């Protein structure tokens, strides 16, 4: 009887394993096709399609645009904008989330409502006021302008995520630190921040992802080719090169690979952080 149950369990596990492998391959196939297309010979994507490329070429990864700007220049621009936005977000979001999560003030609920509304508003709705304001401040064709614009999206999201972590820390932990002689700043830096480390990693990761993939603000605020970020050149390549698929897929690979690598290493923090933010008050 036990042997039959074990045999049924093994068969069931094997079936689920096969289904899981099949679904995984199904979802990973577009990524595989994108990467292999980027290293095929020019023009062979449709003239000689095959599961494995007959010859491997990396010319698409070193190609320059019509203005002589390398694809890696766009990559570095995206890195600068993403890191700058993330640093700005974390510096402002952590203290804000701490104040909203720890202090019982009447103004907390309206502030949370404002942050939720900011999350629901489409970026195109605030493009005109941002463009006018940044024009007066001289932030057009400036990476700092894109960082500030991206921060209008990433800061509310990060505050909402981090607030749940700060709110759930026992007050006794903070009181014990104060009794031991730690001041408010020391308690915040050495007690509260380490405890909320998973939430901070989640906020950092999501800020990087959101700012890395931004196209709306970059397209509006950056008109000089040498300042543009990767998503813009991906959009531009579709019309400018009309369409050279190996080049377009090379651009897409460079855009998506850093996000995939980051998610693989930080998925534990991302899942726990987003779950906490969705079920906790």
- Above pLDDT 90, what percent of the chain? 15
What is the mean pLDDT of the segment spanning 59-69? 66
Residue 160 contacts residue 277 (beta carbons within 8 Å): yes
- Whether residue 1 has pLDDT greater than 70: no
**Whole-number pLDDT of residue 148:** 93
Residue-wise burial string across 55-91, b where 16 or more C-beta atoms lie within 10 A, e elsewhere = eeeeebbebebeeebebebbbebbebbbebbbebbbe
State the Cα–Cα distance between residues 53 and 44, nearest whole angstrom. Answer: 9
Q: Is 100 helix (H, G, I), strand (E, B) or coil?
A: helix
pLDDT at 276: 58
Dist. CA 42–CA 47, nearest whole Å: 10
CA distance 237 to 243: 7
What is the pTM for the complete model shown? 0.78
pLDDT of residue 280: 45
Residue with tokens 């899981």: 20
Listed as own residue / partner, the contacts of 45-53 with beta carbons closer than 8 Å and 24 or more positions apart are 45/245, 45/246, 46/245
Q: What tens digit of pLDDT does each residue of 87-120 get?
A: 999 999 999 888 888 877 777 778 778 777 777 7
CA-to-CA dists, residue 145 to 127, 154, 218, angstroms = 12, 14, 9
pLDDT tens sequence across 190-217: 888 888 888 888 889 889 988 998 888 9
CATH of domain 64-279: 1.10.3720.10
Contact yes or no for 207/89 (Cβ under 8 A) = yes
What pLDDT is attached to residue 146? Answer: 92
Phi, psi of 66 (to 5 degrees): -65, -20
Mean pLDDT of the chain: 81
Could you read off the pLDDT of 217-265 as tens digits, one per residue?
988 898 888 888 888 877 766 655 467 777 788 888 888 888 888 888 7
């Amino acid at each position: 009887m036990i042997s039959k149950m074990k045999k049924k369990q093994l068969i069931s596990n094997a079936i689920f394993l096969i289904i899981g492998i099949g679904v995984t391959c199904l979802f990973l196939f577009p990524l595989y096709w994108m990467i292999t297309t980027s290293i095929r010979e020019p023009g062979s994507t449709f003239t000689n399609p095959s599961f494995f490329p007959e010859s491997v070429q990396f010319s698409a990864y070193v190609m320059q645009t019509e203005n002589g700007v390398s694809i890696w220049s766009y990559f570095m621009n995206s890195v600068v904008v993403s890191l700058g936005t993330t640093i700005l977000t974390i510096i402002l979001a952590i203290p804000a989330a701490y104040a909203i999560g720890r202090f019982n003030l009447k103004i907390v609920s309206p502030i949370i409502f404002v942050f939720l509304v900011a999350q629901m508003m489409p970026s195109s709705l605030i493009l005109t006021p941002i463009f006018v304001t940044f024009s007066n401040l001289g932030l057009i064709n400036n990476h700092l302008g894109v960082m500030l614009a991206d921060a209008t999206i990433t800061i509310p999201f990060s505050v909402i995520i981090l607030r749940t972590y700060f709110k759930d820390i026992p007050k006794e932990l903070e009181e014990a630190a104060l009794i031991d002689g730690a001041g408010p700043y020391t308690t915040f830096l050495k007690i509260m921040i380490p405890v909320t480390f998973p939430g901070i990693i989640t906020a950092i990761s999501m800020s990087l992802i959101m700012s890395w993939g931004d196209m709306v603000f970059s397209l509006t605020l950056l008109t000089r080719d040498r300042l543009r970020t990767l998503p813009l050149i991906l959009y531009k390549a579709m019309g400018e090169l009309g369409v050279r698929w190996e080049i377009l897929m090379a651009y897409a690979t460079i855009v998506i690979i850093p996000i995939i690598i980051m998610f693989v290493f930080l998925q534990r923090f991302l899942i726990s952080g987003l779950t906490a933010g969705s079920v906790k008050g």
